[in-house]
Chain A
């Protein structure tokens, strides 16, 4: 391959899915990922991935690996399919087809945001695509999160700095408020800070909603600053509330997630408001979208009865932990797996197809290394706000593609796409 520069590349390092990366390829290695943040630079790396195919720890042909994978999965009583990180929606669709055929349980990285997803299923959501927050928001409230750590370019690309059609001066057109929830602090550069104790958070959000709706609120000192914030929000033209839906310092709390949704909804009475729920990378939002359109449910789906049923309390980690699963198919990067899932996989026979499959710590029975979506192969990925983006491989053709490999396995198992 020749040296080249590929522009408008989408990065899957986090859920921001920045699509303005320029990848410089020199001697078949990524020499630079321009515009990428530190997370993105690490995600692109130099583009090298292992290219091993192993059965029971020994090198094997792809044919041998897929034959063994099909045998192992078809013979299982209680198979599990897991959609891990760094595969395209096209590959995820193949994975769901396999799960449907196997009557397997299927889960994905989207489950890490379960509390927020379930809250949205109970109450709905008041949201916006990230670009509309950029166009409109004159008041941005970071609720217990500083996006610079896990979503480094969120502020520069979407909610804070860039000018929009109704926010012509960019940062200067907006007021930034950091809500510090215990040690979960908002950004340092906020115009104002408000603090609330974690134990008071859910009640505080409820109090804010009451204030927005013009209902009576307690005049307690511990809620005074958030109630004042609620009044300030009511007076803004367009409010964005930014909260992290991935696990962090604050344990995932369904009541908290729901209180954020209902506050954002209530603010649309007196003014406009969008809640931006931050989600991680690796195209986990794509897994959520694909599973939803193919089954009606966003994660933790079980095909055991021959049709999709929703088991949000019994996702992959719980099934593995309960010893129910006797074989698993992981599609994607094993290093992206949540720790309880990875730990559970060490106790069952598994097949891993994806980038760095051979580096899986849980000793899969079959490991097939593939390229990484967005680096070695194309397709589609979803940003955290469900905006679909094309993937532009900068090193295509150098390694085995995940999509083709999973499709071949699917065909071999007699499953329909």
Chain B
């Protein structure tokens, strides 16, 4: 079939939760790169009878492009050597690009894999502003998907100075300027204040809670969260501030997580990879699940959204701006370790990892993630993620979907894991819930699209982007979601009969909020005093 300017997806069972379709047999019509209400009867048809039709998947949080991801790729030649990816042959005989897989695939392979999974949009979750130009270059080489990134704020020296000086308005202008100049999509906070403390050296290695002061008593993780959440909301950004809380991965960190949520009570905020922040117990005294407490708060507060950051058994790579955390992982695992302190801004830490069923903490993490999913009452605010590749790669999403949809399978898997730390977890007590296809459509596309403020994504009403995924309706949901029969991106049929056939270029998703330009004069002074790159060369704008 040649590239369709018009296509009627005929007779499929449509899951379009944003428009109330929960398994309705109807046609979906595409003209150009949009969904349309109707097409003439003569328009080309794709017979989707007996198949499941959903909007294209939307990944709200993954590490797929940019400086830290590339450091991780460089660290793992053995993974790449183990998974060569010959170039797919496309429909017109054209040869696409080869690459390598592993937990951090090469850029072209990343794009092809997302498309092969029925995902048509992805957000790179952590880009240091100074490396924004690099992230854009990688996204340019990541085909098919529409993509954007979240820019790291909250450990940056300029922001902390504004907080110390009580310059809230300037902090907001700075955030707006930074989003525009780096062509980012949203504000990301990672371990607010903790990375700055780690970089400073001396006796302190990290912050431990929301009210640890950084130098000035006016600068605390709480203040950083309040300022940036306030900025994102005041700027009316499409996605609220995207928060990786303090104390990731530490026993007892649920208290910090809940305190962070309460600190922003009443304000929109997205708390990412919640699984890694939902542990009871205490440092040095053991671990337990605190998923019940954390999800209860989320359930009761409509302003809060989360993605789960599920841990999946198998190979992973931890890659994060939370560099003090990675030092702990290095010290405890003895594996190879990358740390890069990023000037005036942020950090980067990487440790390869593997989650094993027989390891007590890994099994607890797996269980906590499932508890969060299964105890959540509003799927629109609880997004499916693995914090790719931290909890597992995005290729494990189909297996995760099966765990959510198939209780018998889940219970069987539960029997095989180390249950030492699972006492008191809701999962061990027995959770009967099985996600429906409609709920899966929410947590993998409609929900994240809405939370990202992507009006054309995650639904199939006329005017929406023509990003559509069509699955064979098979009982094994892992198989079903791993290999969609057809994937349409912006009206182009990219996957046909399960094969990648076309690899068009995706669009970049970015915001450009307004700000008081007076901030740039102050920034220029700051750059002249401290930065190692010229103010004029910073960011990712084309230069004249």
Contacts and interface: CB of A to CB of B under 8 A. Distances in A.
A34 interface: no
Contacts of A128: 340-343
A110 to B, nearest CB: 11
B74 A165 contact: no
Contacts of A265: 330, 337, 339
Given A272-B201, A295-B106, A392-B543, A127 B339 contact: yes
Given A310-B80, A392-B543, A124 B75 contact: yes
Secondary structure class of chain B's binding surface, majority of residues: mixed
Contact of B100 (A164, A268, A308): A308
A124 B342 CA distance: 16
B532 interface: yes
B73 interface: yes
Contacts of A388: 131, 133-134, 137
Contacts of B359: none
Nearest to A127: B340
A101 B328 CA distance: 43
A129 B532 contact: yes
B107 A293 contact: yes
A8 to B, nearest CB: 4
Contact of B81 (A8, A97, A271, A309): A309
Interface string B83-104: 0111100000011111110101
Nearest to B93: A414
B8 interface: no
A386 B67 contact: yes
B532 A158 contact: yes
B248 interface: no
Contacts of B100: 295-297, 307-308
B70 A289 contact: yes
Nearest to A295: B106
A296 B80 contact: yes
A133 B342 CA distance: 9
B190 to A, nearest CB: 16
Contacts of A303: 98
Contacts, number: 215
A67 interface: no
B108 interface: yes
B344 A268 contact: no
B138 interface: yes
B60 interface: no
B84 A308 contact: yes
A387 B345 CA distance: 13
B534 A20 contact: yes
Contacts of A237: 200-202
B157 interface: yes
Interface in B527-541: 529-534, 536-537
B482 interface: no
Interface string A384-400: 00111111100000000
A119 to B, nearest CB: 11
B543 A390 contact: yes
Contacts of A294: 97, 99, 106-108, 141
Contacts of B542: 390
B339 A268 contact: yes
Given A8-B537, A387-B533, A129 B343 contact: yes
Contacts of B75: 120-121, 124
Interface string B198-213: 1111100000000000
Contacts of A136: 199-201, 341
Given A124-B351, A165-B530, 17 more contacts: A7-B536, A20-B534, A121-B77, A128-B343, A131-B130, A134-B343, A135-B157, A293-B69, A294-B108, A296-B76, A296-B104, A305-B84, A386-B134, A387-B131, A388-B137, A389-B537, A416-B94
16 contacts: A8-B537, A19-B537, A100-B87, A122-B336, A124-B351, A125-B338, A131-B532, A134-B532, A163-B529, A165-B344, A238-B200, A265-B330, A309-B84, A386-B67, A389-B133, A416-B96
Q: Give the 7 A-B CB pairs with smallest separation, nearest first.
A: A131-B343, A131-B532, A296-B80, A296-B100, A128-B341, A307-B84, A272-B201
